[in-house]
Amino acid sequence: MVTTPRPLIDSAVRSVCGRDVERLVPLAGGGMNETYRAELTGDLTVVVRIARQDASWFVDEAQLMAQAREAGVPTAEVLGLEHLDHEGELLSFSVQRFLPGRSLDELVGVLPATELERLVLDAGEILARVHSVTPYAGRGIRHELRLPDEDAVAKISRIVAETLDPAAAAVVERGADFLRREVTTRPAPPLSLAQGDFLPKNLLVHDGTVVGVIDWEFAGPASPAFDLARWEVSAGAPLHDRSDLLRRGYARVADPESAAAGFTPAFAIDWTLEMLAWKNPASPAQFARCVDVIARCTNS
């Protein structure tokens, strides 16, 4: 369903591309934004992303994507940005060149295991190239470890105890203690460019190759451990348990252990605590996954 009035989309695309939209198809995903495939006159296909924010959106994303592309990361070319006021609301449009393919998570269970493993290895190499970039100063979202809030942890523990069992709640509390020690006793890690949502759902595969990393909305300066931890927690079965493959591919370009500087467990726990605190509760399976990750991160 098209939420933004079609004339506004047509106007933004025409301003960027100088062509008319012949066909507009809503795309699944896109995070917090509307996302469409637009087929234009002259046999050109683009992706249109639309955000509703108080300030102009997609500006940092476009610059960071360009930086990553220069480092050899396959990303879509951003053809242009438009910002329009509609009935007192600011709409930001990012018009990007269309990349063919299916997301890697769609191919789980479809591709042979050996092919899937090869693609994850390639993804690891791509991630290392992302982390080789020093982002422009002041651009993107900065991702840092956060000191756990005691009241929030107590609430999460009660919910986990009710959803799973008291033993699982004890694991959550142990994870919060671990994160507090990391935040208060270790110096902040060195920063590079983090993609911010480097997961199978955002890796496009075409003809057996990872042809695009999409959805850079949360990109910005962070420890490389941030992206590595997100994969371990949220890549989805069975890939979240194959971080070894991602790291082996990473090692083609850089040493993943040196890049992460030992911060992956802390970032993984930080992310699981955020997930467990979401207003829309996670499923019991997601709760169990979070607890499992915390248990592995704190068993030393």
Residue 3 has pLDDT above 70, yes or no: yes
- pLDDT on residue 23: 96
pTM for the model stands at 0.93
Length of the chain: 300
- Provide mean pLDDT across the span 46-65: 95
- Provide mean pLDDT across the span 2-6: 86
- pLDDT on residue 281: 64
More confident residue, 203 or 27: 203
